């Protein structure tokens, strides 16, 4: 998930999300790696993690507050606009709660 190769990163995130969809109890197992990717010094790794933030937050709802807080800090201290990813994650969570 923190590979410098974009194709590898995208595939790793895709496989992780698919695994979690098939077995939701393992969602928290991916949390340390996801948090590491959000805090990476590699801008592309951070961007990939942010792109996957809404989906992962939905699948790992019990840790949504921690994930969204970390994304906020990444935006604030990394000078990256994370507002759209955070907003999308909140929207997805709200839609899930209404269903």
3-state secondary structure labels for all residues of 32-73: HHHHHHHCCCCHHHHHHHHHHHHHHHHHCHHHHHHHHHHHHH
pLDDT score at 97: 81
pLDDT score at 96: 81
Mean pLDDT score, 37-64: 95
Cβ neighbours around 90 below 10 Å, total: 14
C-alpha pair distances (Å), 80 with each of 47, 53, 74:
9, 14, 7
pLDDT band at 16 (very low <50, low <70, confident <90, very high): very high
What whole-number distance in Å separates Cα of residue 49 and Cα of residue 68? 12
Q: What is the pTM of this model?
A: 0.91
Q: Which residue has the higher pLDDT, 99 or 31?
A: 31
pLDDT score at 87: 96
pLDDT score at 63: 94
């Amino acid at each position: 998930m923190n590979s410098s190769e974009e194709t590898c990163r995208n595939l790793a995130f895709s496989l992780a999300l698919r695994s979690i969809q098939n077995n939701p109890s393992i969602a928290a197992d991916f949390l340390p790696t996801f948090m590491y990717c959000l805090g990476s010094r590699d801008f592309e790794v951070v961007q990939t993690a942010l792109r996957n933030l809404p989906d992962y937050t939905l699948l790992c709802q019990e840790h949504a507050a921690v994930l969204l807080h970390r994304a906020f800090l990444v935006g604030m201290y990394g000078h990256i606009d994370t507002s759209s990813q955070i907003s999308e994650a909140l929207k997805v969570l709200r839609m899930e709660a209404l269903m």
